[in-house]
Amino acid sequence: MTRRVLEYRPLIPSAVFDYLRDVFDSGCLAGTCGRFVKLFEDSLARFLGVRYVVACSSGTSALHTCLRSIGVSYRDVVLVPGFTFVATASSVLHAGAVPIFVDIDVENLDIDASDLEYMLKRLKDSSHVKAVTVVHIGGVPARLSEIMNICERYNVELVEDCAQALGAEYNGRKVGTFGKASAFSFYPTKTITTGEGGAVATSDENVHNIARMFINHGEDRRYHYVMLGYNYRMSEINAAIGLAQLERIESYIESRVVFAEKFIKEVSEVLGDLVRFQRPPPGSRPCWNLIEMILNLEKLRISRDRLVQELRGEGLKMISVAYPEPLNMSPLFQNIENLLPYEINIERDLLYRKLKNCTYVCSRVITLLVPPGLTEDDAYAAAEIFINVIRRFCSSL
Ligand SMILES: Cc1ncc(COP(=O)(O)O)c(C=O)c1O
């Protein structure tokens, strides 16, 4: 019998090639032409249920744009979770502000509400906390009601990092519609891909106007610059690739949901407490870009990194580790005082925190990337490989 190999591949519909021909025939490839970019933005705004979308060159540039557009600047503080991709926090530095890290909840893997409140209390008198960025890890919504309630009480803005969560829902609304501004990524492992790309979503007219200028050199009309901006535009080529997928986005989400639900059910039934899955909050509908699993290492006779190698060797190539280290422990953030052009007047125990839950999760997590377009059979095949490999290293099964 031939061995199944399951690997991550984006799903590119044939309409992409027609749209690309159209772009090339038009001779107009840059984002400044705005034809496919505009179609992509309008279609994404409709899908999300927001008034405005600004297409960007990446999720990272979208996050930077979100922060600057809501007014984050020098000496502000932005609170971010310690379990996330670097851009959630590096975008704060790009905006000239100080990222301060908050611990996560071990069940949901989102920002921990009680630690968030503790940090807001501690920082209240010494710093200006301008915003909190929540991350919907893996496409599983963060517990937005609790977090929004805290943000309101402390008068801080909410930014949503929806890089991994396009299409996920919370209380019947798409994530990305709760914050003052939200960032999406279209990197190939995301719900849909433009190769590289991102977007800002907002329903605030002022935020939209600033974002639009910010991604376009700070221009308010041709060759007239009113603020420091960047070239963060998405090109027509990327937008054409994205639009063709956006027109079919429900099937991209649905196939991932089917795959994830089957995989989680199969693995949980057989492996019990050897592997724990992320727990979506009540009233949410995750879009499962990733399946995060927390290993019960005490019961396994193998290290996490060896296990990843074994799983890949057996054909489960979609396995990786996201993320192996709390973000605040990277040398980048350990050097934070040398990165900003002003003195940071924040107590050192807040600037350099040890995040207990992040440390625990990072040492035990393994991640299954979920590509679009897989079937129930693929889920059973993936679960079978996963279960069989774990069985080899667990005496109690
Ligand atoms: C949570 C999170 N934020 C931000 C980003 C940045 O997106 P991009 O890679 O498109 O810059 C990513 C992408 O990997 C991400 O996973």
Q: What is the pLDDT of residues 73-124, one digit of tens each?
A: 999 999 999 999 999 999 999 999 999 999 999 999 999 999 999 999 999 8
The reply to whether ligand 1 has any atom less than 6 angstroms from the CB of 92 is no
Percentage of residues in the chain having pLDDT higher than 70: 99
Q: Can you give the pLDDT at residue 1?
A: 53
Q: Residue 185 Cα, ligand 1 centroid: separation in angstroms?
A: 6
Out of 84, 85, 191, give the residue to mutate to test ligand 1, the one with the largest number of ligand atoms within 8 Å of its CB.
85
Residue 373: is its pLDDT beyond 70?
yes
Q: Can you give the pLDDT at residue 2?
A: 60
Atom of ligand 1 nearest to the CA of 164: 16
Pairing of the two strands 290-295 and 219-221: unpaired
> For residue range 136-157, what is the model confidence (pLDDT) as tens digits?
999 999 999 999 999 999 999 9
Q: Write down the mean pLDDT value for the chain.
A: 97
Quick one: CA dihedral 102, 106, 110, 115, positive or negative? Answer: negative
The reply to whether ligand 1 has any atom less than 6 angstroms from the CB of 81 is no
SS3 call for 159: strand
Q: Can you give the pLDDT at residue 3?
A: 72
Q: Residue 84 Cα, ligand 1 centroid: separation in angstroms?
A: 9
Q: Map tokens 């310690």 to a residue.
A: 82
Q: Residue 23 Cα, ligand 1 centroid: separation in angstroms?
A: 27
d(CA 265, CA 383): 9
Percentage of residues in the chain having pLDDT higher than 90: 96
CA-angle at 96, arms to 90 and 97, nearest 5°: 75
Atom of ligand 1 nearest to the CA of 88: 3
Q: Residue 60 Cα, ligand 1 centroid: separation in angstroms?
A: 6
Residue 133: is its pLDDT beyond 60?
yes
In this prediction, residues 387-397 reach a mean pLDDT of: 88
- In which band, very low, low, confident or very high, does the pLDDT at 34 lie, cut at 50, 70 and 90? confident
Q: Return the structure tokens found at 397.
A: 């099964």
The reply to whether ligand 1 has any atom less than 6 angstroms from the CB of 57 is no
Rg of the chain over Cα atoms, rounded to whole angstroms, equals 21
Q: Can you give the pLDDT at residue 103?
A: 98
86: which DSSP letter? H
Q: Can you give the pLDDT at residue 33?
A: 85
Residue 396: is its pLDDT beyond 80?
no
138: which DSSP letter? G
The reply to whether ligand 1 has any atom less than 6 angstroms from the CB of 108 is no
The reply to whether ligand 1 has any atom less than 6 angstroms from the CB of 328 is no
Find out whether the peptide bond into 323 is cis, omega within 30 degrees of 0: yes
Domains plus CATH for the chain? 15-249 (3.40.640.10), 250-323+359-392 (3.90.1150.10)
d(CA 57, CA 149): 32
Q: Can you give the pLDDT at residue 324?
A: 98
SS3 call for 198: strand
The reply to whether ligand 1 has any atom less than 6 angstroms from the CB of 187 is yes
Atom of ligand 1 nearest to the CA of 61: 11
Pairing of the two strands 284-285 and 169-170: antiparallel
Sequence letter at residue 320? S
Single pTM value for the model: 0.98
> For residue range 200-242, what is the model confidence (pLDDT) as tens digits?
999 999 999 999 999 999 999 999 999 999 999 999 999 999 9
Q: Map tokens 């949980």 to a residue.
A: 268
The reply to whether ligand 1 has any atom less than 6 angstroms from the CB of 85 is yes
Residue 379: is its pLDDT beyond 60?
yes
Out of 92, 137, 164, 232, give the residue to mutate to test ligand 1, the one with the largest number of ligand atoms within 8 Å of its CB.
164
